[in-house]
Structures are given as structure tokens and as C-alpha cells.
């Protein structure tokens, strides 16, 4: 297929956390608020004079200094962020909106503050609590947290308009972005999709890491381009897979997978689109902030939610996506030393295989996989196994 018009530009934007569109928005008087977790409602950070940027550590190399502060046995994502922060990579941020989701990320935020990794006088790091289950009283808790520790802080530190009118405007723009990303993603249900898993991963990441108002027109144009894109006569991929699990912002992961012949058709992982790019449905009779908080809590697939209904929801979601996108198998991945997904992945992988009947490849991985020979070999073996299974099914 012919390359997408903006693909190279999008890839270049993802080479640095402080990308060209972030700098453009700041030059126009906007404030950049970094965040790392779906538990932090992205839309609340896009209110008035603020825009959200989901923090990554592209081109991560050595993380020795961060390891000194955080030890070898903590999440490489958290350590990579701290390493980049110590190097000055997040000096551009005007604030960080964190959540107490895991101890590793809490330590990362804490060290960023203690080591004074950002010298802006108005810079702040704020934290909000995250419950382990969803009840009316835990929704009350999250609403209070988001009001006191996010919206009030933005208003106090940056003079942000946090009225319902300003929040509603941010929701409307967010929903427009979600509709575009969903429509693009739906093309992956086709036998021979006009967009690859790698390309969609690029589009999804720029939608998180760039100011919505600046990236949205480019994504709209990309959607129109994909609608009329000429595909190869024969689909070059040998198997269709759903990727599920913990945080993936490394394009090398999807690139490596698709080089082995597997097409990533759905992404149920942190920094993916499911959840992340669903429209926030609102009504006129309930508090706006409460509706937003409930949306993020109910759509969240985070392994931190340990209630039985949430555990079942995560399994059912992967099964539903695999059926909806007509996958041949599931890749269940986990960042090394991620406490929550280290419990979730082994059992969920087993159940998805034994009770749901899916072929499952279960892996733990580094934050940056680059050209991992071991991972490539495992991907290749899984693709071959899926091919054999299809041939056997066709023969009856």
C-alpha cells in the first residue's frame, strides 16, 4: 500500500516527548499537563488553557541512574520516565497529573519532585487516589479527588477555567477525536484492512501525545485518505491477533510483530484505543464531572481493579474483541516487574486458552523491545502455530 500522507510526520512527532505540536501549543499560551495512566481522565486535562500529553520515554537507552534510585525490580516504564526526567527530558511540562495506581509510578513521581527535574516556578505534581472496585461511594471518592486535586489545582496554578462549560467543550472535542479513531480502527475488521496495526499504533499514540486541537485535523484527513486507500491484491499477513495487557508505547513492538506475519487487529492495552478512544456519553440530569469519572472507571480494563466483576470484564472484553475483529489468536503481554499485570497475565492467559478456546501467546517484555531476537522467535513460532491450526480446521 502507498504510505499514508502524514505517517512520517507522525513518526517524527513520536521521536520526542517535547514534540513540535507540543511546542506550538505552548507558544500559543497553552500549558502542557503530563499524565501516565487511564485512571486520570484525559479530558479533564484538556480544559481551557491546558492540553494533555501522555508521557513516554522514546529512544530509551540506559536506565542506570533511575535504577540506582528505584532498584532493578521495578517497572522499566517508570524507571525510563525517571531517567529521562533526570536528563531534563520533561522540562517542557507545566504539570504532572498522577494517580496512585502503582508503587513504581508513585516512586517515579516522588523522585521527579525531590530531584527537582523541572525548574518552572509554576510546575506541580498532583496525585489522586484510585479505588480497587466500582461502587457509588468509590465514584464519589474519585469525583472529589478530581475536583480537589486536578481541577482546583489547574485553576490555582494556571488560572484555568474549570467551569462545566469549559469541561463540556473539552468533552465535545475529545468525542470528535474518539469518533475519528474508532472509524479508522473499524477498518481493521476487514479481511484486507487499508490500515496496518503498526500504522494504527502510530495514529493512536499521536492522539495521546499531541494537543487534540492540533492533531485532530490531521487525523481527520488521514481517515479520509484511508477510506479510499488502495490495498494490495492479497493481504500480506498470515494471521490476525489481538494484543492485550499492560502499557505499550513502543512502536517497535508492533513493528516487530507484523514483520513476522501477524496483523495486529485490536489493541487492548494501556496507551491503546480499547479502552481510551470511546465516546463519553453524557446526559442532562446528572453532575458532569461525575458522569466523566464514571465513564473512565467503568470502561477501564486496568488490572488494579480487583473486584470479581472487573476481573471477569477484562476476560470478556478480550474474548469479545477477538471475535469482533476475527482474530486467530491473542498475545497477552506484560511489562517486566509490573505488579498488577504479573498477577493478571498468567491466570488470564490460561483461562482464555482453556475456557474460551483461544490460542494465546503469553509473554513478559522489556519497556523497549527494539530488535529482540527472542521476541521475534516467539512471534514467528506463534504465527506458524496459528497457520497450522487454520489448515487443520479447513481440512476438518
For residue range 3-20, what is the model confidence (pLDDT) as tens digits?
A: 999 999 999 999 999 999
Going by pLDDT thresholds of 50, 70 and 90, the confidence category of residue 61 is confident
Grid cell in block for residue 387:
497457520
- pLDDT surpasses 80 at 269: yes
As a whole number, mean pLDDT of residues 102-116 equals: 93
User: What integer best gives the mean pLDDT of the chain?
Assistant: 95
The model's confidence at residue 263, banded by pLDDT at 50, 70 and 90, is very high
User: Taking residues 191-212, what's their average pLDDT?
Assistant: 98
* Candidate from 288-302, 322-336, 381-395 with smallest mean pLDDT: 381-395
pLDDT over threshold 80, residue 396: no
Cell of 8: 512520517
| pLDDT for the residue numbered 117 | 96
3 state DSSP class of 321: helix
Fold of 234-395: Rossmann fold (3.40.50)
Reply yes or no on whether the pLDDT at 178 is more than 90: yes
Listed range (5-14, 89-98, 254-263, 371-380) with the worst mean pLDDT? 371-380
Lowest mean per-residue pLDDT among 19-28, 132-141, 367-376: 367-376
10-161 CATH choice from 3.40.50.1950, 3.50.50.60, 3.40.50.1970, 3.40.50.11890: 3.40.50.11890
Categorize the per-residue pLDDT at 395 as very low, low, confident or very high, splitting at 50, 70 and 90: confident
Give the per-residue SS3 of 324-393.
HCCCCEEEEEEECCCHHHHHHHHHHHHHHHHCCCCCEEEEEECCCCCCCHHHHHHHHHHHHHHHHHHHHH
The x, y and z cell numbers of residue 385, run together, are 502455530
Contacts by residues 339-348 (CB-CB < 8 Å, ≥ 24 positions apart) = 339/75, 339/102, 339/103, 339/104, 340/102, 340/246, 340/302, 340/303, 340/304, 341/245, 341/246, 341/303, 343/303, 344/303, 344/314, 345/245, 345/246, 348/314, 348/315, 348/318
Model pLDDT, residue 318 = 98
| 377: Cβ contacts below 8 Å, ≥ 6 apart | none
Task: Quickly state the pLDDT bin for 59 (edges 50, 70, 90).
Answer: confident
Whether the predicted pLDDT of 394 surpasses 90: no
Same fold, 10-161 and 234-395: yes
**Predicted local confidence at residue 60, as pLDDT:** 87
Q: Where are the domains of the chain?
A: 10-161, 234-395
Contacts of 396 (CB under 8 A, 6+ apart): none
Amino acid at each position: 500500500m502507498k504510505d499514508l500522507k502524514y505517517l512520517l510526520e507522525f513518526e517524527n512527532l513520536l521521536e520526542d516527548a517535547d514534540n513540535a505540536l507540543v511546542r506550538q501549543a505552548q507558544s500559543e499560551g497553552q500549558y502542557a499537563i503530563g499524565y501516565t495512566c487511564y485512571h486520570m481522565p484525559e479530558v479533564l486535562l484538556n480544559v481551557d488553557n491546558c492540553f494533555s500529553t501522555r508521557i513516554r520515554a522514546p529512544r530509551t537507552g540506559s536506565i542506570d541512574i533511575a535504577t540506582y534510585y528505584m532498584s532493578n525490580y521495578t517497572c522499566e516504564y517508570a524507571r525510563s520516565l525517571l531517567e529521562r526526567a533526570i536528563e531534563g527530558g520533561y522540562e517542557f511540562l507545566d504539570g504532572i497529573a498522577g494517580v496512585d495506581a502503582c508503587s513504581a509510578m508513585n516512586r517515579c513521581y516522588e523522585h521527579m519532585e525531590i530531584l527537582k527535574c523541572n525548574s518552572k516556578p509554576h510546575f506541580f505534581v498532583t496525585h489522586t487516589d484510585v479505588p480497587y472496585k466500582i461502587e457509588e461511594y468509590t465514584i464519589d471518592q474519585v469525583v472529589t479527588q478530581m475536583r480537589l486535586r486536578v481541577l482546583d489545582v489547574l485553576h490555582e496554578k494556571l488560572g484555568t477555567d474549570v467551569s462545566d462549560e469549559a469541561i463540556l467543550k473539552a468533552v465535545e472535542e475529545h468525542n470528535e477525536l474518539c469518533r475519528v479513531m474508532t472509524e479508522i480502527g473499524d477498518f481493521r475488521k476487514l479481511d484486507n484492512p487499508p490500515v496496518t496495526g503498526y500504522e494504527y499504533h502510530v495514529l493512536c499514540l499521536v492522539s495521546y501525545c499531541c494537543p487534540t486541537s492540533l492533531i485532530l485535523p490531521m487525523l481527520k484527513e488521514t481517515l479520509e485518505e484511508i477510506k479510499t486507500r488502495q490495498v494490495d491484491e492479497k493481504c500480506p499477513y498470515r494471521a490476525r491477533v489481538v494484543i492485550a495487557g499492560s502499557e505499550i508505547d513502543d512502536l517497535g513492538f508492533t513493528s516487530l510483530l507484523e514483520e513476522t506475519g501477524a496483523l495486529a487487529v485490536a489493541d487492548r492495552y494501556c496507551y491503546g484505543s480499547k479502552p481510551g478512544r470511546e465516546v463519553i456519553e453524557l446526559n442532562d440530569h446528572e453532575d458532569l464531572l461525575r458522569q466523566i469519572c464514571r465513564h473512565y472507571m467503568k470502561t477501564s480494563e486496568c488490572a488494579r481493579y480487583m473486584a470479581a466483576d472487573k476481573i471477569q470484564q477484562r476476560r470478556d472484553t478480550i474474548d469479545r474483541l477477538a471475535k469482533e475483529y476475527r482474530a486467530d489468536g491473542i498475545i497477552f503481554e506484560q511489562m517486566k516487574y509490573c505488579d498488577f499485570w504479573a498477577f493478571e497475565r498468567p491466570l488470564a492467559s490460561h483461562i482464555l486458552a482453556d475456557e474460551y478456546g483461544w490460542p494465546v501467546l503469553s509473554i513478559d517484555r522489556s519497556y523497549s523491545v527494539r530488535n529482540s531476537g527472542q521476541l521475534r522467535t516467539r512471534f514467528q513460532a506463534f504465527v506458524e502455530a496459528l497457520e497450522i491450526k487454520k489448515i487443520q480446521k479447513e481440512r476438518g
